[in-house]
Amino acid sequence: MPQRRERYDKQFKISAVEVVLSDGKHVKKLSGELGVKDSTLRRWDNGIKLNLTV
């Protein structure tokens, strides 16, 4: 059976990126705490920095 992909709402993504930016927390550590891949969190971060939709 294929694994179901988790969907996160926009506010969750923004909040996660704010923690990285304001607290200086490492993406890898925070992604582990949140249960998302570090590449996913980096993509959200880049999207917000470039003012793109996340």
Query: pLDDT (tens digit, 9 = 90+) per residue, 16-54?
Result: 999 988 988 899 999 999 999 999 999 999 988 887 656
Q: State the pLDDT at residue 52.
A: 67
Q: Which of 25, 9, 6 is nearest to 17 (CA)?
A: 25
Cβ-Cβ contacts under 8 Å for 43 (sequence gap 6 or more):
none
- Rounded CA separation 24/6 (Å): 25
Count how many Cα atoms sit within 13 Å of the Cα of residue 44 in the half-sphere of its side chain.
23
Q: State the pLDDT at residue 54.
A: 61
Enter the pTM of the model. 0.77
User: What 3-state DSSP class applies to 35?
Assistant: coil
Q: Which amino acid is at 5?
A: R
Q: Is the pLDDT of residue 6 over 70?
A: yes
